[in-house]
Amino acid sequence: MYAQEGSGRDISCGHSLKYNRCIYSREVRASHIILNINASKSKLSCLLQHIAREYLLLIPFSRIGQPAFHPANMLRGAFQVARAAHHTLRSPCVRAAGSMFVVPRRHMSSSVPDISLGLTQDQIEFQKVALQFANDRLLPNAAKWDQEEIFPRDVLKEAAELGFGGVYVKDDVGGSNLSRVDASVIFEAMSTADVSTTALLSIHNMCAALIDRFGTEEQRQHFLPQLVTAERLASYCLTEPGSGSDAASLQTRAVKQGDHYVLNGSKAFISGAGESEVYLIMARTGGPGPKGISCILVEKGTPGLSFGKKEHKLGWNSQPTRAVVMEDCKVPISNLIGKEGEGFSIAMKALDGGRINIAACSLGGAHQCLVTARDYIKVRKQFGQPLSQFQALQFQLADMATSLYGSRLMVRDAAQKLDENHPQATVLAAMAKLRATDQCWDICDAALQMHGGYGYLKEYPIERFLRDVRVHRILEGSDAVMRLIIARSLLKD
């Protein structure tokens, strides 16, 4: 049951809890939940109650009617934050500091350009939730995941509890049913802490949305409930060892035998391969060219499906990358997504959204590098004065901020056009990805240069962002492919 206006319900979460929807004036929106904790029964201190309450205040009430935003899930998240604060309070360094302590926070809205600029009130709320999750669960662990190549499966599930496992999947199967603009805001915010993990989550979202949009009702009901909760993860399988940018020349074949397809071939550079449970395979069921390609869903554990060695990469180290190999891999015909021959079209439509997502991840990484560089040159002194007093660095910082703001506008505009099914959505997505991924790489590189030798050390986060955003200019369509799409649109009669 969900909260109703003017009423409350008890929820059993190990504490005596009650929540109400509050009626606010026009000046204070009716978009928050207030958590009333029975202090006589609760084991939380007043401070932890406050932390839990503040966490819930970040959740927009407009999402409460969806399974991912069920009050039990939100309360679980609130107490996770409270428990984390409890551990912080108990740490020796905090106790030694005395009764007053400060938990470092990143106030992204105070930076220029403001990442909330131009957003609706609901989108600002989504952004706050994503930033808090990034601060609490991604930022403290991102460097360790990167250096030790740890895949944070449990953290992805926590993100899904906030509705981030199926951001633009319909709500009848548990999705959040948000827009592409909303998704770009969420992925950008999360990427300010960890580009690699957020990028994998964005690919998972792309796959879930593909099933939601093009799958049968039976496929939707069977696969999506576990995908939106991240109990199962999905991987997108288009690229092959011999077909990268020329995706329509892929060689993986699917031959119909009775009521099954038998697949043979391999896919290369697949994010999540070996860990994901669902693989969307683009395979040739007909003749040469794009019209001979179909999209077939293959589940982990299917006989004949195997994986190559884990690749060791420059960046994106919190997510595994492997080859996906099919040798007489037999799957039911019912696993066909759409119709035979529609696979390439489906793959390209999915990539329109995927390109916006990856561009948004670049924005997040570049934004954090810009803020970090700005703060660094304010305190770093050379020749008797802070670096921020040198006009050359001031101008460079101004150019970085201008490039970031322009890229963000292009990404959000392309996302809006995709939401509207605008006829130029594909070319605008290509423009946005080209511009954002190139400019954001330049911003990260400039931020590292401002740090000098310190920027090259792993103790500073700049080099991790630099490594993680570099691949964005290659995957989901390289820079050259983006230019090809744009040029073809310009030259079309």
Residue 138 is given by DSSP the state I
Across the strands, what pairs with 299? Answer: 278
Residues 6+ apart with CB under 8 A from 368: 106, 191, 192, 193, 461, 465
Antiparallel, parallel or unpaired: β 278-284 and 234-237: parallel
Task: Report whether pLDDT(66) > 80.
Answer: no
Task: Report whether pLDDT(149) > 70.
Answer: yes
Pick the range with the lowest mean pLDDT from 5-19, 182-196, 307-321, 413-427. Answer: 5-19
- Give the pLDDT band of residue 445 (cuts 50, 70, 90): very high
Model pLDDT, residue 482: 97
Are residues 424 and 410 in contact, defined by beta-carbon separation less than 8 angstroms?
A: no
- Give the pLDDT band of residue 421 (cuts 50, 70, 90): very high
CA distance 281 to 151: 23
- Could you give the percent of the chain with pLDDT greater than 90? 75
Q: Average the pLDDT over 463-486 and give the result.
A: 97
Model pLDDT, residue 29: 29
Model pLDDT, residue 108: 56
Q: Which two tokens mark 316?
A: 């994106």
Model pLDDT, residue 71: 44
Model pLDDT, residue 111: 61
Where does residue 273 rank: exposed (0-12), middle (13-18), buried (19+ CB within 10 A)?
Answer: buried
77 or 183: which carries more pLDDT confidence?
183
Task: Report whether pLDDT(62) > 70.
Answer: no
Q: What is the pTM of this model?
A: 0.79
- Give the pLDDT band of residue 434 (cuts 50, 70, 90): very high
Average pLDDT score, the chain: 83
355 or 22: which carries more pLDDT confidence?
355
Q: Average the pLDDT over 202-225 and give the result.
A: 97
Taking only the tens place, the pLDDT of each residue in 83-130 is 454 444 433 333 333 322 223 345 555 566 789 999 999 999 999 999
Task: Report whether pLDDT(213) > 70.
Answer: yes
Task: Report whether pLDDT(3) > 70.
Answer: no
Model pLDDT, residue 493: 73
Task: Report whether pLDDT(283) > 70.
Answer: yes
Task: Report whether pLDDT(35) > 70.
Answer: no
Model pLDDT, residue 286: 94
Tell me if residue 476 is catalytic.
yes
Taking only the tens place, the pLDDT of each residue in 379-399 is 999 999 999 999 999 999 999
Pick the range with the lowest mean pLDDT from 56-65, 169-178, 472-481. Answer: 56-65
Model pLDDT, residue 114: 87
- Angstrom distances, CA of residue 330 to CA of 180, 237, 286: 35, 17, 17
Q: Considering 340, 342, 463, 476, which one is annotated as catalytic? A: 476
Q: Average the pLDDT over 280-285 and give the result.
A: 97
Pick from 250, 248, 244: nearest CA to 264: 250
